[in-house]
Amino acid sequence: MPRWEPDARERLVAAALHLFSERGYDNTTVAEIADRAGLTKSTFFRHFPDKRELLAAGQETLARLFAEGIAAAPVHASPLTAVAAGLERAAGVMTPFNRELGPRLRAVIATSAELQERDALKQVGLTAAMAGALRARGVPHLVATLAAELGMLAFKEAYATWVASDNDQELGELACTALDQLRTAVAELD
């Protein structure tokens, strides 16, 4: 493959996941990832500061999409309805590439405490983006935080279902269903 192809970021992620699965995260170097992707080491570093960040690729985009969806929700929407709009917006950009690599990504993360830590930080960042978007709508801090946490939990559940099964449901639909189930579960806490 030519080294200049525009899909370098996806190629690096795919190559890294293949190598991490084959050899383990700790036994894989940046040079090997770049080589497997048909790119140079300097191209790798133009896209990622280190190999750990490969597995958080897309975090900024997801955070932005969650926030945009929440901001675009109808003005009188409840916090959870606004979160549902954010989940649908973010889910809309997930591609077959994301679905295909999802199980491998989960498996690789499970093998490394360092990667589990980075994954947890990614989730904290995504939750913070949703909470910030809710606060910008005038939602009180505690309510915004709780709604964002429920949104993140719904997205995680939906994503796990989406990548693990052969169903025809869209990720956005799965996320909204998961959020509705969480809404019902919260009501039962009282």
The answer to whether residue 67 is domain-embedded is: yes
pLDDT higher at 44 or 97: 44
Collapse the DSSP code of 9 into the 3-class scheme (helix H, G, I; strand E, B; otherwise coil) and give the result: helix
Same domain as 25, residue 99: no
Q: Which CATH number does the domain housing residue 111 bear? A: 1.10.357.10
Which tokens is 103 given?
Answer: 């199980």
Task: Give the pLDDT of residue 4.
Answer: 52
The answer to whether residue 3 is domain-embedded is: no
Same domain as 32, residue 65: no
Do 145 and 133 contact (CB within 8 A), yes or no?
no
Confidence of residue 104 (pLDDT cuts 50, 70, 90): confident
Q: Report whether pLDDT(187) > 60.
A: yes
Mean pLDDT of 97-109: 85
Helical H segments across 24-95, by residue range: 30-37, 41-47, 59-72, 79-91
- Share the mean pLDDT of the chain: 90
The answer to whether residue 76 is domain-embedded is: yes
96, burial (CB in 10 Å: exposed 0-12, middle 13-18, buried 19+) = exposed
Range of the domain at 130: 58-187
pTM of the predicted model, to two decimals? 0.85
Percent of the chain at pLDDT exceeding 90: 62
For 58-89, write each residue's pLDDT tens digit. 888 899 999 999 999 999 999 999 999 999 99
Mean pLDDT of 33-47: 93
